Structure 1
Amino acid sequence: MLTGGCHCGAVRYQISVTPDRHGLCHCMDCRKASGAPVVGWMLVPNDTVTIAGETREYASSEHGRRHFCPTCGTGLFYTNAQIFAGQLDIQSATLDDPNYLPLPVQVQVADRISWMSDLASLPTFDRYPEV
């Protein structure tokens, strides 16, 4: 059983299967909706997810709907009846243990921000560096 939720805890979810589709999305729609350069998603059948708490829905495109916590604003779910009928895309970083799932793919790399393609060459710090 995988569990997760929003930042404030008002929305919680449980997934009864291990998602077979998990990846990072670089599309502009995900970037604009999240304010992040990339968003991790895991796709699961609707009937394998139990959601506790209320979400708000935003129509981010003609068929796409983004669901978020109305209290803290955390983006949680994406639905699109045209592309993912009967399935729910869940932002994988909202899992209680996001390290559980391996990351097999990146998608929409045609939209990737140029500086995202060479992150391994940047200096790294365990925490925020001294100023």
Structure 2
Amino acid sequence: MLSQDEFSVNQGKLKTIAGQGGAERLFCADCGTGIAYKNANILPGMIDVQTATLDLPDAYIPEMNIQLAEQIGWEKMAHEMPSFDRFPPQE
């Protein structure tokens, strides 16, 4: 999350979709990828940028998990599941 003044897009254009309660979701106007979330009522002056959309996502180390109120029960143990770089091997 960062100040809206610090946020800019270097390439392409954003499309904004208005949500409930003052929420705004920003998407790439060309491909539809979700980019960020704004809500002046909850996060005045701030923007929540989707980390995976950054050019250098590894440069930003998470400091917290947010919005866990409706998390799916199995998410608490997702890190314990088998992991694959791409797809699991064919049996």
Name the larger-Rg structure: 2
TM value normalised by structure 2: 0.83
After superposition, where does 1:1-131 map in structure 2 within 5 Å? 43-52=1-10, 53-131=12-90
| Runs of 4 or more above 4 Å deviation | none
Q: Show structure 1 runs of 5+ residues with no match.
A: 1-42
Q: How many pairs align?
A: 89
Compute the TM-score of the two structures, normalised by the length of structure 1: 0.61
Structure 1 residues 50-83: Cα deviation after superposition (integer angstroms, max 9, x where no partner): 2243211111212100010121001112111112
Structure holding more strand per residue: 1
